[in-house]
Amino acid sequence: MQNTSLNKWREHQASLGAWINLPDLHITETLARSGLDWLCFDLQHGLMDYHDLARILPGLNGQPVTPLVRVAANSGDQIGKVLDVGAQGVIVPMVNNVDEAKKAVAACFYPPKGLRSCGPMRPVMQYGFEYLAKANDNVACVVMIETLEGLENVEAIAAVEGIDGVFIGPVDLCYGLGITPGDFGHAKFQDALMTIIHACKTNNIAAGMFGYSPELAKQAIDSGFTFVSAGTDISFFRAGMAQSIATAKGEAPVTATAKAGY
């Protein structure tokens, strides 16, 4: 039941993942066999809910890929349920201060580290009751910095015991900084990235970012981010579709952009 992605982050090794927005088992299984380190199932903005998650997560069984879930809110019941159905890590949106970071930690871990209630339905079926003794060392608690308040408090947030990583929502951070959404080259945005990376390095935790394209993902890793998404199930489909149609028509190859989006 080792969390291979979390182990990589702890060793300061870069890991590449993808975002899952569609409640499709076949797409999930295909991506699980692609060589990615982790997959994140999006319950905040993705087109799926908890019942979809319970149906799809078993498709990762036996594959060397870590299942992460972005919950819809910093809520103990939501965080506990996705862990009980088999997630090995949780990404919590809109964390703005230390109290909110501590709330996320409390929901992710069993006592004495946290306040997670015991009822790990799928993990116990998969790993037996040894899961209870090992869960606190193998669950990843990741909080998102997406606002100006969160950015201003990132040093303190990253220092909260139990936080394994900080993840950037790039477009929401643009809104928070008062710049055009998607203007990832803006000096304010780039300065914010360096601030977050520094906070993570200082506290020996992982720095992650949502990559809207393979190019943006590579830039993020080269800049010092530990875990980055190469795209989403939808963006992969869109890019492959556009390329296939262009090739069939004899047109120039399609060039991906940082604004490829979801």
Please tell me the distance from the alpha carbon of residue 138 to that of residue 153, in angstroms, as a whole number. Answer: 26
CA end-to-end span of the chain, whole Å?
31
Torsion angle, CA of 176/47/25/9, rounded to 10 degrees? 10
Task: Let me know if 45 is a catalytic residue.
Answer: yes
If you write DSSP's letter for every residue of 155-185 in order, what string do you get? HHHHTSTT--EEEE-HHHHHHHHTS-TT-TT
Please tell me the distance from the alpha carbon of residue 88 to that of residue 244, in angstroms, as a whole number. Answer: 35
Please identify which of the residues 45, 51, 186, 198 carries the catalytic annotation. 45
Catalytic residues: 45
